[in-house]
Amino acid sequence: VRLRDVAEAAGVSVSTASTALSRTGRTGTTRLSQDTRRRVREAAEALGYVPSEAARALVTGAPGRIAVVVPNLRQPYFSRCAEALIEQLGARGLRSTVRVTDDDAAAELDAVMGVTTNDADGVLLCPHFLGDELMAGRTPPLPVVQMGSYPTRGLDHVPMDEFNGCLAAARHLLASGRRRIGFMARTWDDGGPRYAAYVRAHEEAGLEVDPALVVNGEDWDRCDTGLESTIGLLRSGVPFDALMCINDAVALGVLRALLSVGRRVPEDVAVTGFDNTTEGEFAWPALTTVDPGTVAMASAAVDVLVARLEGRDPGPVGPAPTRLVVRDSSL
């Protein structure tokens, strides 16, 4: 039940309903009559409405609390997402609390369903596992906005344009004359949008993907995956002149493996990442990568959550624009 529902039932505005449900029945210089307060509270009780600290904060100026949920903080992308979300919440006068799910699907579901976020009035989530199957038709007890990943039925979603970002990276490698481009590392059955972009770019160039150049990885949030996968590819003897990495963390491991065996980057092997992390910028050589628009996504996610807290429908949200950042690793 939303505050807007209570306001409509009582025949008042959303801000008046919020004021009526406050402890004092006033907000700033606004005072309400006893009759108005009574009608709003009776409507709230009849509908089963539970006041939200965060929604009230948007009217009164008092800080509310929003849970920022990420799978881990070791992956630079997720730590940057958490930072961006916290900054955007702070700019709107909302407090934040961080929950780390330790790459556990059950913990992710618990955060969405309020089990581990019962001290918050809303959830901003960067998921690893959340989806229709995991939710199984459940309805969260509080507003939830999902940032990146695949959309989940019934939840607000701010998408990342993974496909076009990776398409730009793959086209860049092909335009530089590379023809034996490895994909590091495929982690799903279908490879997801990043792998689909890799395939599309080859098709555009009239090339077929060599399955021997598609390397699977166990954990795409660790540099170890890039290191181990590259060592395996080198030992296989399969020739390659570029490695397109699923993210910057994998790419950093790839750079370490190549340089340790004397492969020059980019002269012998060009390397690209995805996420535009600070670690990639200061790697040697500096990493070509895709900026996924993290700050723009975070801003949009907070806008959607604020709309829900205020009882408004935020409407559909398009993906943030991606940007190819070309550096020394692929020149």
Q: Tokens standing for 306?
A: 């604020």
- 153 and 189 in a single domain? The answer is no
- Decide: helix, strand or coil at residue 177: coil
In this structure, what is the dihedral angle of CA atoms 27, 32, 34, 40, given to the nearest 10 degrees? Answer: -80
Is residue 330 in a domain? no
- 284 and 303 in a single domain? The answer is no
- 122 and 97 in a single domain? The answer is yes
- 179 and 272 in a single domain? The answer is yes
- 215 and 303 in a single domain? The answer is no
- 99 and 113 in a single domain? The answer is yes
At residue 24, the pLDDT reads 54
User: Looking at residue 29, which CATH number applies to its domain?
Assistant: 1.10.260
- 167 and 287 in a single domain? The answer is yes
- Give buried/exposed letters for 42-74 (b at 16+ CB in 10 A, else e): ebbeeeebeebbbbbbbbbeebbbbbbbbbbee
Q: Tokens standing for 269?
A: 């092997």
At residue 61, the pLDDT reads 54
Is residue 205 in a domain? yes
- 284 and 309 in a single domain? The answer is no
Domain of residue 41: give its range. 3-51
At residue 28, the pLDDT reads 45
In a structure prediction context, what are the per-residue pLDDT tens digits for the chain, which is 331 residues long? Answer: 778 889 999 999 887 887 888 755 544 445 788 899 999 999 998 998 876 666 655 555 555 799 999 999 988 899 999 999 999 999 998 999 999 999 999 999 999 999 999 889 999 999 989 999 999 999 999 999 999 888 999 999 999 999 999 999 999 999 999 999 999 987 667 778 999 999 999 999 999 999 999 998 777 788 988 999 999 999 999 999 999 999 999 999 999 999 999 999 999 999 999 999 999 999 999 999 999 999 999 999 999 999 999 888 998 899 999 999 999 999 9
- 129 and 225 in a single domain? The answer is no
How many structural domains compose the chain? Answer: 3
| Cis bond upstream, residue 285 (ω within 30) | yes
User: Tell me: the pLDDT tens digits for 171-208?
Assistant: 999 999 999 999 998 766 777 899 999 999 999 999 99
- 38 and 89 in a single domain? The answer is no
CA–CA gap between residue 20 and residue 13 (Å, rounded) = 11
User: Looking at residue 210, which CATH number applies to its domain?
Assistant: 3.40.50.2300
At residue 32, the pLDDT reads 83
Is residue 216 in a domain? yes
- 155 and 301 in a single domain? The answer is yes
Q: Tokens standing for 315?
A: 């409407």
- 302 and 154 in a single domain? The answer is yes
- Give buried/exposed letters for 244-265 (b at 16+ CB in 10 A, else e): bbbbbbbbbbbbbbbeeeebeb
